[in-house]
A = this chain, B = another copy of it.
């Protein structure tokens, strides 16, 4: 049984690489997918495809079209969704992806520092599991295959 995991969350550090490496070290039969992690590419993809747009709102709209197209394709393939929240950034896409996954009955694990317990309490409550760091997330993933 091979499973696919969508890694939702911010794209400003290398948490996906860390998690993917640890999963590999534990020989977990998992394939990982996620959003475009090159921030510039993610912001510019609309103009990269369609050419220059009249203003930044239209540019953002064109980029979001293609980012959402990508996410919808990849999340549809996912058996599990992991959503990481950190101290910085708005992270509304992370909340959006986690909520969508819950609505679609996909098992969801949230990773967040304890400083975020309060603002995330309703979303944590709907997700299956909430842990505090990538190591704990790996522990939970391992348990699925024990």
Contacts and interface: CB of A to CB of B under 8 A. Distances in A.
B144 A70 contact: yes
Contact of A67 (B103, B116, B117, B122): B122
Interface range for A = 35 or more
Contacts of A136: 49-50
Given A92-B120, A107-B72, A54 B54 contact: yes
Contact of A122 (B41, B93, B99, B120): B93
Given A57-B117, A71-B122, 5 more contacts: A56-B118, A70-B144, A72-B105, A76-B105, A92-B123
Interface of A: 1, 3-4, 31, 33, 36, 38, 41, 45, 48-50, 54-58, 60-61, 63-74, 76-77, 79-80, 85, 89-93, 95-100, 102-105, 107, 109, 114, 116-126, 128-132, 136, 139-140, 143-144, 146
